[in-house]
Amino acid sequence: MSIGPLLPGRLPNSFSFRRLNQQIQNGQLELQRFQDQLTTGQQYLVPSEDPSSALNTIVLQTRLERQQQFKANVETDRSLLGATENALSSVSDVVNSAKSIVLQGFGSTVTEDERRGLATEVSGLINTVLNSANTKFRGRFLFAGAETDSAPFALTGGDVLYSGNSQQIGSHIDLGQQIVNNLDGQSAFNVLTTVESDDLNVSLATETRLSQLHGGAGLELGSFDITLQDGGTTVTRTIDLLLAETIGDVKTFVEDAFAGQALTVSVDIDPASPSGLRLTPSSGTVAVTDVVGSRVASDLGITSVATAQIAGGDLDSAVSIHSRLADLNNGTGIGPTAGTGLLISVGEKSAVVDVSSSDTVQDLFNQIRLAGLNLDADVSADGSGISIVSRLSGAEFSIGENGGGVATALGIRTLTGDTLLSDLNTGAGAQLQAAGALEITRRDGSLTSVDLSAAQTIQDVIDAVGAAGGGTLTASLNLVGNGISISDTSGAGPLIIAESGTSLALGIAGTEASPTAALTGQDVNTQKSDGLLSALTSLEHALLIGDDAALNTLSDQIDSEADRLFQALGELGVRAQTLEAVENRLLDDEVLINEDLSKQFNADLAEVLSSFVAQQQVLQATYQVAGQGFQLSLIQFL
């Protein structure tokens, strides 16, 4: 029996209605999407519409926002550096004026009234420099370092006080790239007077941090092997110092590794050289080697072949604020401090700094800062000693003894036996060869002539006086303050050193009538800032008293300041060029980012508009089909 064809039958109206309704809804949604794209210019409104593209868009938008912040930083930095450059340019004009005034005020043909007039001009120049130095821009004082909320410079008693600091302010101008957008007062005007100590040679202590070793460079931690041997007994241990922080930790890790063993080892600070370690076995020999890939034992100075005892090398521990004063100078400390201390003078003011209660370097710094002399103190840049800083530009600064040896032990006495004669009198020197011999009228009435033609240092002068005095005429450094003291026991008359180029240069011209007292000389090695403000205050004073020698020295100092200001302006110019190069790179990167962002996120309006029109037509056709389909009569259906 054959099977005929299948009849098509009839779809239920409900199914057709659902189909058409779904098509209409889809068409309306698609049309709405195109409308949103035309209105916003975006390919999508929520990430779920295109997760992959949305993720790329977020990354690109983050990069773009970062680039825009970098551009804003560059613009801010450029404005700050520009204002700084303008301020320094006005100071350069002051330098030229000061050089002209020096030339006008030099010589015997200048009258006293003319000198006073020139001094008045210098006073005006000082005010001009101060106004420039206190320039405020964008809410901050440009030359105050990080203390940007208050004016950094102020006149006090004829000198200039700097209350800012030397910290730099930087900003990010690109990934991994920063630039300094300020110039502190010290860099710009050379206002601080600094006394740097000698190397204070800090001895090791159990609390010494490993990061302080080798002048503050520290060492890279790792492991090393220690082998103890006595006859047929050998014990080897690997010492891991990855968690060690102090010399005490090294001692603990090494000794604990051998605790309970047949052979042990002790670690201490070598009493013969307190800047190194010492390893001593309980018996037999000890050997130390670095493990492969480590050099910590070498850095600790304890690598050695088998020996009865290892005396480690100098670990050159840096000074820190926590260093004990008793550990300075290889453990000899700074000597007796009771009733002594430091005698510090700044300008017309002096103060005795009592350090008898100071245990650490920080305690010492605190006492110096509390002296009321506008002083600051810090560890020196290389970590080998300390720095004492006067903030008063133009004022003479000295550190001397107060009847003891504290200043010498700290390496900060400003006049010592090693002081060069060429450095005396604020750099003018003491030309003793041209000034002639030192003539001394002794207490017994005799005349002693001291030949100082070969002297190069203060100690040479002291030695020459002693050699010429036959044992009764001696010279030494002042017990209080600074200067040279001359003593004579040849008789009971007055001790007289006549004024001469030599005696004045050494600060020892004068008479001492008391037969038991020494002739105490003046301090001829006071320290003073070489900066422009210091030079201007000295220039004003030299004009008022007609000091041609000082004017001659100041001419060279002002020339040096002119060169230094030129270098500072050049540094600002280099930073400005860096900002320009970075800005150009940021602009180029921004264009590329925007191109990528447009591809990932921005809609193609022409294409969207075309699709929108097409979708309108499709939706309209769907409406027409739906309308016709649901209006069919029974006859049309049949």
More confident residue, 576 or 596: 576
- Tell me the mean pLDDT in the region 390-404: 94
Chain segment 270-317, per-residue pLDDT in tens: 998 899 999 999 999 999 999 999 999 999 999 999 999 999 999 999
Q: Strand runs (DSSP E) across 109-232, as ranges?
A: 136-137, 140-141, 153-156, 159-162, 170-174, 177-180, 193-196, 223-230
pLDDT band at 133; cut points 50, 70, 90: very high
Q: Is 147 exposed, middle or buried (0-12, 13-18, 19+ CB in 10 A)?
A: middle
The residues with which 311 forms a beta bridge, in sequence order, are 278
Chain segment 77-132, per-residue pLDDT in tens: 999 999 999 999 989 889 989 999 988 888 778 888 999 999 999 999 999 999 99
DSSP state of 252: H
pLDDT above 70 (res 467): yes
Chain segment 333-370, per-residue pLDDT in tens: 999 999 999 999 999 999 999 999 999 999 999 999 99
pLDDT above 80 (res 465): yes
**Tokens in use for 330?**
């290889």
More confident residue, 111 or 25: 111
User: Contact 299/214 with Cβ under 8 angstroms?
Assistant: yes
- Tell me the mean pLDDT in the region 392-396: 91
What lies within 8 Å, CB to CB, of 202 at 6+ separation is 208, 212, 275, 317, 318, 319, 323, 327, 328
Q: What is the pTM of this model?
A: 0.81
More confident residue, 288 or 422: 288
The whole-chain average pLDDT of the chain stands at 88
Instruction: Write down the pLDDT at residue 556.
Output: 86
**Tokens in use for 473?**
């005429």
pLDDT above 90 (res 404): yes
Helix axes of 51-105 and 532-545: crossing angle, nearest 10 degrees: 10
CA distance 185 to 165: 7
Instruction: Write down the pLDDT at residue 607.
Output: 67
Query: What are all long-range contacts of 288-294, with beta carbons under 8 Å and residues at least 24 apart?
Result: 288/224, 288/225, 288/226, 288/227, 289/224, 289/225, 289/227, 290/222, 290/223, 290/224, 290/225, 291/222, 291/223, 291/224, 291/225, 291/238, 293/222, 294/220, 294/222, 294/223, 294/224
How many degrees, rounded to 5, is the angle at CA 495 between CA 491 and CA 499? 155
Instruction: Write down the pLDDT at residue 50.
Output: 67
Q: Is 3 exposed, middle or buried (0-12, 13-18, 19+ CB in 10 A)?
A: exposed
Chain segment 36-80, per-residue pLDDT in tens: 666 666 666 666 666 777 777 778 788 888 889 999 999 999 999
CA distance 192 to 214: 29
What lies within 8 Å, CB to CB, of 309 at 6+ separation is 278, 279, 280, 281, 286
Chain segment 439-459, per-residue pLDDT in tens: 999 999 999 999 898 899 999
Terminal CA-CA length for the chain: 31
- Tell me the mean pLDDT in the region 428-434: 68
pLDDT above 70 (res 192): yes
Number of residues assigned to the chain: 638
DSSP state of 301: T
Instruction: Write down the pLDDT at residue 614.
Output: 73
If phi > 0 it is left, if psi is from -120 to 50 it is alpha, else beta; for residue 137 that is beta
CA distance 369 to 157: 20
pLDDT band at 469; cut points 50, 70, 90: confident
Percent of all residues in the chain with a pLDDT value above 70, rounded to a whole number:
87
User: Contact 465/471 with Cβ under 8 angstroms?
Assistant: no
pLDDT above 80 (res 184): yes
**Tokens in use for 337?**
């401090």
Instruction: Write down the pLDDT at residue 435.
Output: 56
Instruction: Write down the pLDDT at residue 608.
Output: 59
CA dihedral 447, 450, 453, 458 (to 10 degrees): -140
Nearest one of 439, 401, 395, 433 to 417, comparing CA atoms? 401
User: Contact 308/230 with Cβ under 8 angstroms?
Assistant: no
User: Contact 493/483 with Cβ under 8 angstroms?
Assistant: no
Helix axes of 112-133 and 51-105: crossing angle, nearest 10 degrees: 170
CA distance 93 to 90: 5
C-alpha distances (whole Å) from 33 to each of 226, 492, 622 are: 76, 115, 18
Q: Is 56 exposed, middle or buried (0-12, 13-18, 19+ CB in 10 A)?
A: middle
Instruction: Write down the pLDDT at residue 63.
Output: 83
pLDDT above 60 (res 8): no
CA distance 70 to 148: 22
Quickly count: other Cβ atoms within 10 Å of residue 46's Cβ: 8
Helix (H) or strand (E) holding 134: none
Residue with tokens 């203390």: 147
pLDDT band at 530; cut points 50, 70, 90: confident
Chain segment 134-181, per-residue pLDDT in tens: 999 999 999 999 999 999 999 888 889 999 998 999 999 998 899 999
User: Contact 90/189 with Cβ under 8 angstroms?
Assistant: no
Instruction: Write down the pLDDT at residue 546.
Output: 87
Can you list the domains of the chain with their CATH numbers?
64-149+532-587 (1.20.1330.10), 210-311 (2.60.40), 325-409 (no CATH), 421-520 (no CATH)
User: Contact 479/527 with Cβ under 8 angstroms?
Assistant: no
Instruction: Write down the pLDDT at residue 630.
Output: 60
